[in-house]
Amino acid sequence: MDCEIHSHEENETWVLVPRPRGRNILKNRWVYVIKYKPDGPVDRFKARLVIKGFLQKYGIDYTEIFAPVVRMEILRLLLALAAAMDWEVEQMDVKTAFLNGFLEEEIYMEQPVGYVQPGKEDHVWVLKKSLYGLKQAPRVWYYTFYEAMMAEGFVRLIKDHCVFIKTRGKEICIISVYVDDLLVIGND
């Protein structure tokens, strides 16, 4: 749990502020997972701080939650193209993807049990970045990813906003996104 809190502090996910009056203060909880090695033994124990997003109020804590994902027929087409052209295909999962997006809304969260700062027990965290459990977390992540792709010179498909293409001479790179999973296809 210390590692999780430390990584959020390094990522500047939140700022400790006095509890505001009349604002929705969201609660949180810890989710524990046991990670195993491919051959079976325990690799590590993981704790993740999750906000109770079901307590969010529409119009106050969020307005839109929809995040686009690549359509399955487009994904099948991309894989068929890669097979026909003998291109490389790589799949990747973006670690802590939802924690990288900056929030537009002002969202307050209680300090988690065991990590309440002494002398500031009545303070809460105002989130600067997204956190697991927020209703808008996938949408915030998608737009963070979109901005990064545009900055790198990728072009987004008109027919599917989750497919990005970049060409340089005869080289081509195609990236499709399904929530926080990426499929990278290219000839180099």
Look at the alpha carbons of 45, 46, 52, 53 in this order and tell me if their dihedral is positive or negative.
negative
What is the domain count for the chain? 1
Mean pLDDT in residue range 14-27: 94
- pLDDT the model gives residue 73: 94
Residue 102 is part of which domain span? 2-186
- pLDDT the model gives residue 96: 79
Cα-based angle 96, 99, 102 (whole degrees, multiple of 5): 150
- pLDDT the model gives residue 11: 86
Q: Record the tokens describing residue 130, joined without a space.
A: 């997204």
The two counts, helices (H) then strands (E), for the chain are 3, 11
Say which residue the tokens 């839109």 belong to: 64
- pLDDT the model gives residue 70: 93
Q: Express each pLDDT in 73-119 by its tens digit.
A: 999 999 999 999 999 999 998 877 888 889 989 999 999 988 999 99
Sheet arrangement for strand 123-129: 14-18, 123-129, 102-110, 25-26
Instruction: Report the alpha-carbon distance of residue 110 to residue 113 in Å, rounded.
Output: 9
Q: Which helix (H) or strand (E) holds 88?
A: strand 88-93
- pLDDT the model gives residue 108: 96
Q: Express each pLDDT in 28-86 by its tens digit.
A: 999 999 989 999 999 988 888 999 988 888 888 888 888 888 999 999 999 999 999 99
pLDDT at 188 over 80: no
